[in-house]
Amino acid sequence: MRQKIRKTLLLISFLLFPLTFFLFSPFLPFQAAAEAILAGATIIYIGLFLLSFTLGRAFCGWICPMSGLQDVCSSIRKKPTNPAKGWIKFLFWIPWILGLTVMFVVAKQPIFLNFFYEMPLKISIDEPWKFIIYYAVLVIIVGMAFIIGNRSFCRHLCWIAPFMISGKKLGNLLHIPRLHLETDKDSCVHCELCNRACPMNLDVHAMCQTGHIIHDECILCGACVDACSSSCIHYSFSNPHKKKKEKLRG
């Protein structure tokens, strides 16, 4: 039931993507910053960064419209990707966030809020040329999924995920309790169904043996929870790193 609800939310999010497309744009924040304007996309990125203190990357697993499209691609062609290469997206994100920050810092006039910047009708796709941009992005997402592998856009190119990964790490430093997955390693029967279910191709089984599933690419979708034959994986709301240290001491 949980996965049906999750996939339904992702489907709804994807169907609404033509309306919300510019609210996830990596380019509009720069255009708006040049005019001393705080665009809706910038506000959403800040919000996701703050929410990740307690919710991690749940947005990626449950709401993100681009995730919904990638899940559809994965159901057509399953091709594993390497979780170790998740750092690639930071090569784009770090100069992106630094450049945007500099533009706001050097602004010589008050910064104004315009949530629907470049969205005069309060929706993203309101002119024909915007459909070209929209479908170009969809082609990139689908192309990467079929050529490189499952959720490759999410792993290698997404400019939104680094906000949540950074937020998780800062939350850990501040000892803020967070939603995450824990395991009872003694109950694990080593069926490895969790590995097969994980849309991010993580080695969930190996992490199960540590008592916690802590990984930057974990999107808290719960697929491994529902696939586990011994029910040894479950959600928890606590400080995962603190509990991990306590277990190691014990």
Tens-digit pLDDT profile for residues 133-161: 999 999 999 999 999 988 999 999 999 99
Confirm if 55 and 2 have CB atoms less than 8 A apart: no
Domains of the chain, residue spans: 2-169, 177-249
Q: Which CATH class is domain 177-249?
A: alpha beta
Burial status of residue 211 (CB atoms within 10 A of its CB: 0-12, 13-18, 19 or more)? middle
> Residue 42: its pLDDT value, please?
94
Tens-digit pLDDT profile for residues 44-53: 999 999 999 9
Task: Examine the pLDDT at 248 and tell me if it is beyond 50.
Answer: no
pTM listed for this prediction: 0.89
Confirm if 161 and 60 have CB atoms less than 8 A apart: yes
Q: What is the mean pLDDT of residues 64-74?
A: 91
Task: Examine the pLDDT at 121 and tell me if it is beyond 70.
Answer: yes
Tell me the H-state helices in 110-160. Answer: 128-147, 152
